Chains A and B, each alone.
Chain A
């Protein structure tokens, strides 16, 4: 009968894919390859900013949060003290980014900047199309999406409203550096199921390559090591940039996705994507292993942006800012549907600290999950339930890893017998 121990593979392609788990929640599969444990829990660090915000880390480690609904801009010092720093007269922001000694912040129509000491300039530049969106810095220049244009600020601080233009029906949503070029994601409209990505060398009057995908838009780019991922459409689909085209990678199953150019960040080399309250990693911790999609964190409320400062992650939502706390989160993993008569489940563990536990639930022939009485065998280091399942044709097991504050079980396999 199947033994599931390839935790590093993350979630499978479907419920039936035996090469991965049907689902994961708050699971750390990368710290020690071959095992799984509870990931650290996201906890609210501050109740302000109390508005959904974009976020940017500046050179000294301070983080700024720019409200998506008002002109308020908050500062979090590197030490973790929050305060209202400024109110932008141009109101609701659509992005922010540190560049060349300044915090740049923008609304749909106006670009502002702050010199990190005392001077706030709310209108440093004016977008032509009133559609300020995603941003990237490459080739010594800051590039900002504005509808059919890419606007720019160069290292001398000169603003150009239309550094590149696209066909008029395309709206640039997000952009990312690829080698020494700029890769731009677009959409036409929420109900038009085709969009394009454009690769531009940042010097020529035209883009170099364009590629069409059949999605309602590119929502955000996810940077990984030598690979650029794009999350597109409304159902979690992921593409990767081959250098000449967007190629289908797979999808994050069971999620609803929407445009959000600040919904991705990289934590210690691990790409993260924020979808509602859920934070997934799309990562392999070793070159020999596959890229795994794993649910790693759950925010306390639906997030509006994710940013990394050092080893810390901040997720902004309408009620405050979450960060990675010291405690572990309850983790859940679900095995794929195992065909054949199954009577029991055992979970091997490497560590089961005092106060932690492992729960086992089973679903047979597609019925609801039933909680089983788990028995801990400390000699053979496994937790199991003692059989007694009704006659079945297929079965799934749902394993819950219950932490105790900072302590977590470490499991090494799930066996269905």
Chain B
């Protein structure tokens, strides 16, 4: 399996994405992976990251 990580923790710098925005962007990223032909096996949230498992 292939793994991609998506960070959810928000920074505090001016203009940085909030956690909510990061979560939404993460969903869009997963959709992008799927539209690129990646087969998503499992998505889990661990310690402030989405762990996206894909078929090799």
Contact = CB atoms under 8 A, between A and B. Distances in A.
Interface in A143-164: 158-164
A269 to B, nearest CB: 35
B16 A165 contact: yes
Contact of B15 (A123, A163, A168, A204): A168
What DSSP secondary structure best describes chain A's contact surface?
strand
B22 A128 contact: no
Contact of B7 (A123, A124, A163): A163
B32 to A, nearest CB: 7
Contact of A126 (B9, B10, B38): B38
Contact of B4 (A159, A165, A207, A210): A159
B3 A207 contact: no
A72 B36 CA distance: 21
Interface string A369-410: 000000000000000000000000000000000000000000
A162 B9 CA distance: 10
Interface in A78-134: 123-126, 128
B10 A205 contact: yes
Interface residues of B, number: 23
A166 B12 contact: no
Contact of B6 (A160, A169, A205): A160
Contacts of A126: 4, 29, 32-33, 36, 38
B5 A159 contact: yes
A356 B11 CA distance: 63
Given A164-B11, A165-B17, A207-B13, A128 B5 contact: no
Contact of A205 (B2, B3, B11, B14): B11
Contacts of B36: 123, 126
B25 interface: yes
A188 to B, nearest CB: 12
A77 interface: no
Interface string B23-49: 001000100110010100000000001
A161 B15 contact: no
Given A161-B4, A161-B29, A166-B16, A205 B38 contact: no
A162 B16 CA distance: 12
B15 A205 contact: no
A161 B13 contact: no
A132 B4 CA distance: 16
Interface of A: 123-126, 128, 158-169, 204-207, 210
Q: Nearest 10 A-B pairs (CB), nearest first?
A: A167-B15, A206-B11, A205-B11, A206-B13, A160-B5, A205-B9, A162-B7, A206-B12, A165-B17, A159-B4
Interface of B: 2-7, 9-17, 22, 25, 29, 32-33, 36, 38, 49
